[in-house]
Structure formats: structure tokens, C-alpha cells
Amino acid sequence: MENNLNATFEEHSKAYTTLNLGPTHPATHGIFQNILTMDGEIIVDSEQTVGYIHRAFEKIAEHRPFYQVTPLTDRLNYCSSPINNMGWHMTMEKLLGVTVPKRVDYMRVIVMELARIADHLVCNSVIGVDTGALTGFTYVFQWREKIYDIYEEICGARLTTNIGRIGGMERDFNKEVIAKIEDFLAGFPKVFNEFCSLLERNRIFMDRTIGTGPISAEKALNYGFTGPNLRATGVDYDVRVMNPYASYADFDFNIPVGINGDTYDRFMVRQEEIRESLKIIRQALNNLPEGKYFAEVPSFYLPPKEEVYHNMEALIWHFKIVMGEADVPVGEIYHSVEGGNGELGFYLVSDGGRAAYRLHFRRPCFIYYQAFPEMVKGSTLSDAIVAMSSMNVIAGELDA
Amino acid sequence: MGNLTNEAILQHIQSGLPGTIISAQESYGMCTIEVQPEKIVSLFQFLYNHPEMAFQFLTDLCGIHYPDQAGKELGVVYHLHSLVNNLRLRIKAFVPKTNPQIDSVSAIFKSANWQERETYDFYGIEFIGHPNLIRILNVDEMTYFPLRKEYPLEDQHRTDKNDSYFGR
């Protein structure tokens, strides 16, 4: 609908207005565009444009050795890169038929749950920001930084982590790591409780979020929702329980679900998941098994550097791994993990070559973001913005 | 939780929709079937409405290209999930590159909408009956389908990455 400047007042009040929300807009938290058709302040229709940061990861992955795909997965949902990394390592291990030691599983669980906390903290505190409460955001972000300090101690990186290897972790948890995780488990719950009391029963926040951007369980399933957004509608689908990976079956935790599938339920499901993640980390740390931190996969797991410098065989293996010269079985495989915002799947077709014949990433937010127009139709612009931030759409994952 | 097995799925489809399955195999525990492309919608409806199987969740939809399979170069791979049975099923349908057309399943699963657009964008597979089949991730002006195997990512004249050095 064109915005006619010469229209009379009468015509103006009847006409729809077209509003561009994005591509770069402070409220979209990423580069994607929504062209909204507005009747006054009510959204009549919206049309989405995505792909602004499309980097053709699936094409790139067909030309890279398998271990070089890990940095690509970092850049999908960059709020919880370790989960993506681990998901990819486990896909490769499943293809190769490798069983990793229990200790690796537990170490991975600790890192993945830390990543989940970081991811949910970003999303939930930003919902607060979009409703006008900046305090909680600045407060909990200090603790997200502490999670990043733990990553840094484990793998040397903070945001795009490239953590772990195919076959295990790159190094064992040292004393610093354990101490930092203990510090986090001791200090974070207190801060988190204060964050909860800022928002969870806050009258203004509840009025802004309850009943906005709702979706029914039936529709959510039809739209391919997964993760906290699906659980907010009342469906208890969680990959960690339905298809346990990395010894998740060993831990005792609950799957929180919502009722109405609105913004408040999505927020509350994430809040509860943070508490459950803390429980899982505590259990994993208490029961961390002794043993090796890697499996025997010489064609993928780099030998120790000292050996490479002094031992011929280790040098050959190192060379073969770095050049991507390892043999892989022919086959096709689908493996999924519970990512920060839903089921992150890897569909890998291998023809036995040095790179994947086809690798497809099932990116949860690419699939569920389609439902956004239906969720916000008839609501006000301010509600739509809160609904969008509660969906946890990450541009890197959306566009791959 | 039901007790559906991969064998039972095949039996159900073979008795309910005979002649649909071209071949079937099991790959890492997941039942994988190749089906006649023209029967894809009726198969999806059958799987969706079947009281015992209830494949009511479309996990994933993507394309694949095998340049050497004459007449069946382009494929669509669907991953269905039966949440009541917690069982997954992989369905493949191949179409010729000269006429890459297959019926859209977006009327059954709304989640297929963008995934079919992505598959069209990458491989040029046309989904008949799709409400808005335009490119989604690449620019509209693009004239080719970049994930097809004939489009190399890197400069193929490079000599420093010669596979023959590695016995290939």
C-alpha cells in the first residue's frame, strides 16, 4: 500500500500504512526485515525477508575436511556455539562408530549446559530490554562473561569457541576450569534469583508479555517449532530426553513446559531451564568420571604436540589429519542435539571422500520464524517486538 | 510410547499405498525409503493420518544432487518424526534435472514452506502448489542454483590442491 501524501484526512485514516521493521533495526537483534502493513498501531500483515547474512555454509562444508566444519557451526547460533560444536562432533562420531569415554560425555554436558544458560540469559534479559527494563540485562551479562571465561580456560576462545574435537575434548579440565565452574555455581544462583525477582512477578512485565504472540501446540508442531518455544505451548519434546546423547540419561532433571505458548510462557520456560541446567552441571561435576578425555580415533584426534615433534608415526598422523586425509565410511546420518533455541540437526551424506558429499544443518529458528506473521497478526507493534525477541531468532542461524 | 518398528512402517506403507516405495534400507538405525515422486503428497497424508504411525512432525527437508544418476539427478530428502512413537523416517524422492518438479507438502506441514523455498533456491527443484516459491537466502537476481555440483566453490584451476598428490 502506497503512502499517498496528497490524500485527504478521511482517506488517510482509512488507508493502511507500510512500515519497514529492519533490516537494521535496534529491536530485531539481527539483520532481517519485516515489512509490516499497519492499520494505525495494529499489524494487519507482515512479510519477512531473510538471508542478509547468508554465507553458504552448506556449500563450504562440501569442500572442507570434516574437522574444518566445526568453525562453521560456531557461526550458526553464536549465542551457544559449544552446543553446535558438540553436535557436529557427535555426528561425526556416530558416522565413524566411535564410542567416547564417559568422562568426555560429562565434560561435554557441562560445557553444553553452560552454553544453554548463556543462550537463555541473552534471550530472556533482552526480552526485559524490549519491555523497557535494562537493569536485568546489564546485571546478568556480567555472569554470561563468566561463562565465557570458562570457555576461554577450556579452549582459548570466548564467542566462536571451536571447542572440543572429533573424538573428545582438546584438553582435560584443569584446576582453573573446575574452580571457575564452582565459582559460577556458587555465585550465579544468587544473581539469577535477583534477576527473577526483577521480572517474573513484575506487574508491568507481566502485562506486557502475558497473552502476546501466542501460538497453540497444534500450530506450533505444524510450523516445526522445537526447543523452549515448543515447550511453552505445552509439548514436552526435548531431544535430551527423547533421543539421549552424551549420557544425558544419567542425569536427573525436569523438562519445564508452559500452557499458553505466549511470550510470558516462553520466558518462563527458559527461566526454569536455566535452573535445570544448573542442576545438571552440579550433578555432572560431582560425578565427573576418571579416565581419558578423548577416544582412540587416530585419524581424527590430533596426537599430542610433544609426540609430533619426536615421533615419526605421530607426525604422519598429524599431517594426515590436518590435510583431511582420513578415511570415513560411506553412509548417511542424521543426528540432532537440543540447541539453545531448538532441535539442531545435522544431516550428513558421506561418499567416503575427504569432505561431506552433502551436509544440511537443521536450523531451528529458520523453521519456526515462519510462524511470526501469524503470531503477531492483530497485535500492536510493541507487542510484536517483544514476541520476536522471545522467539530467540539468531540471524547467524537463520541465514546459515 | 508405541512399539512401532522400521519393518512395521514398511509393511503399513506397502499395504496402504502399494507401489509407492522404490527401495528401502536402514541407515544407522533410521528407516530410509525412496519413493515415487508423484506420490509424495498422498504418502505424506497417509503417514500423517495413520492412527498407529502418526508421522505428524516434519523435522527437516532438504535437497541433494547426484549428477551421475541419469533421470534422477535431483532429490528431496524429508525427515519425518513420529512423536508418539519417537521414531524417525527418512523419505527420498528423485526428479530429473531437465524437469525438476515435485508436489509441495506445504499444505500438510506449514514448516515446509520456507524449507521448500530454500531447496528451490539451492537446487532449482520446483514445488508444485507452493504458495510463494521464490528465492529465500540468495538474491532474486541470481540465475543459477548454487548447491548443484557443477558449481565449484573454489577456482578449479588451482594447482596447489591437486588430489592426485594424495593418491586420489
- For chain B positions 2-31, those within 8 Å of chain A (CB to CB) are 27-28, 30
Among chain B residues, the shortest Cα distance to A397 is held by B137
Q: Are residues A28 and A113 in the same domain?
A: no
Q: What are phi and psi of A203, to 5 degrees?
A: -55, -45
Q: Are residues A180 and A79 in the same domain?
A: yes
3.40.190.10, 3.30.499.10, 3.30.460.80, 2.70.150.10: which CATH number matches B6-146? 3.30.460.80
A1 domain-assigned = no
Closest by Cα among B113, B104, B109, B94 to B47: B109
pLDDT tens by residue, chain B, 168 residues: 567 899 999 999 999 999 999 999 999 999 999 999 999 999 999 999 999 999 999 999 999 999 999 999 999 999 999 999 999 999 999 999 999 999 999 999 999 999 999 999 999 999 999 999 999 999 999 999 999 998 887 665 666 666 666 555
Q: Are residues A71 and A197 in the same domain?
A: yes
- Host H or E run for residue A277: helix A263-286
Q: For residue range A218-266, list pLDDT tens digits in order.
A: 999 999 999 999 999 999 999 999 999 999 999 999 999 999 999 999 9
Q: How confident is the model at residue A372 (pLDDT cuts 50, 70, 90)?
A: very high
Q: How confident is the model at residue A30 (pLDDT cuts 50, 70, 90)?
A: confident
Q: For residue range B38-74, list pLDDT tens digits in order.
A: 999 999 999 999 999 999 999 999 999 999 999 999 9
Q: Is the pLDDT of residue A373 over 60?
A: yes
Q: Are residues A45 and A145 in the same domain?
A: no
pLDDT at res. B94: 96
Q: Are residues A13 and A159 in the same domain?
A: no
Q: Is the pLDDT of residue A343 over 50?
A: yes
> For the whole prediction, is pTM greater than 0.90?
yes
Q: Is the pLDDT of residue A2 over 60?
A: no
Among B64, B90, B153, beta carbon nearest to A358:
B64
pLDDT at res. B119: 96
Mean pLDDT along residues A383-396 = 92
CB pair distance less than 8 Å for B114 and A51 = no
Q: For residue range A109-123, list pLDDT tens digits in order.
A: 999 999 999 999 999
Indicate the average pLDDT of chain A.
92
Closest by Cα among A400, A368, A56, A73 to B142: A56
Q: Are residues A333 and A256 in the same domain?
A: yes
A326 domain-assigned = yes
Among chain B residues, the shortest Cα distance to A319 is held by B166
DSSP 8-state symbol, B51: T
CB pair distance less than 8 Å for A334 and B86 = no
Among A51, A95, A325, beta carbon nearest to B166:
A325
CB pair distance less than 8 Å for B30 and A334 = yes
CB pair distance less than 8 Å for B57 and A343 = no
Q: Are residues A326 and A384 in the same domain?
A: yes
- The C-alpha of A361 sits at a distance from chain B's nearest C-alpha, in angstroms, of 9
Mean pLDDT along residues A390-398 = 92
Q: Is the pLDDT of residue A1 over 50?
A: no
Q: Is the pLDDT of residue A325 over 60?
A: yes
On whether any CB of chain B is under 8 Å from the CB of A59, the answer is: yes
A3 domain-assigned = no
Q: Give B135's contacts in chain A (Cβ within 8 Å).
A: 51
On whether any CB of chain B is under 8 Å from the CB of A94, the answer is: yes
Mean pLDDT along residues A39-52 = 92
Q: Are residues A40 and A62 in the same domain?
A: no
- The C-alpha of A78 sits at a distance from chain B's nearest C-alpha, in angstroms, of 19
Cα A300 from chain centroid?
A: 26
On whether any CB of chain B is under 8 Å from the CB of A347, the answer is: yes
Q: Are residues A15 and A109 in the same domain?
A: no
- Host H or E run for residue A35: strand A33-39
pLDDT at res. B100: 95
Angle between helices A175-199 and A134-155 (to 10 degrees): 170
Identify the residue with better confidence: A383 or B168: A383
On whether any CB of chain B is under 8 Å from the CB of A362, the answer is: yes
Q: Give B59's contacts in chain A (Cβ within 8 Å).
A: 224, 334, 336, 343, 345, 362
- Structural domain range at position A34: 9-49
Q: Give B90's contacts in chain A (Cβ within 8 Å).
A: 332, 334
The alpha carbon dihedral of B34, B39, B41, B47 has a sign of negative
d(CA A82, CA B5): 34
Q: How confident is the model at residue A324 (pLDDT cuts 50, 70, 90)?
A: confident
A41 domain-assigned = yes
Q: What are phi and psi of A303, to 5 degrees?
A: -70, 160
- The C-alpha of B57 sits at a distance from chain A's nearest C-alpha, in angstroms, of 6
Spatial neighbors of B22 by CB under 8 A, at least 6 apart, are B33, B34, B35, B36
Q: For residue range A137-154, list pLDDT tens digits in order.
A: 999 999 999 999 999 999
Q: Are residues A32 and A65 in the same domain?
A: no
A2 domain-assigned = no
Among B27, B137, B147, beta carbon nearest to A332:
B27
On whether any CB of chain B is under 8 Å from the CB of A62, the answer is: yes
Q: Are residues A164 and A215 in the same domain?
A: yes
Q: Is the pLDDT of residue A156 over 80?
A: yes
Q: Are residues A37 and A126 in the same domain?
A: no
State how many domains chain A has: 2
A151 domain-assigned = yes
What interface predicted TM-score (ipTM) does this complex get? 0.92
CATH (domain of A321): 1.10.645.10
Helices and strands in chain A: count of H runs, count of E runs: 18, 6
Task: Please report, as a single letter, which amino acid is at residue A287.
Answer: N
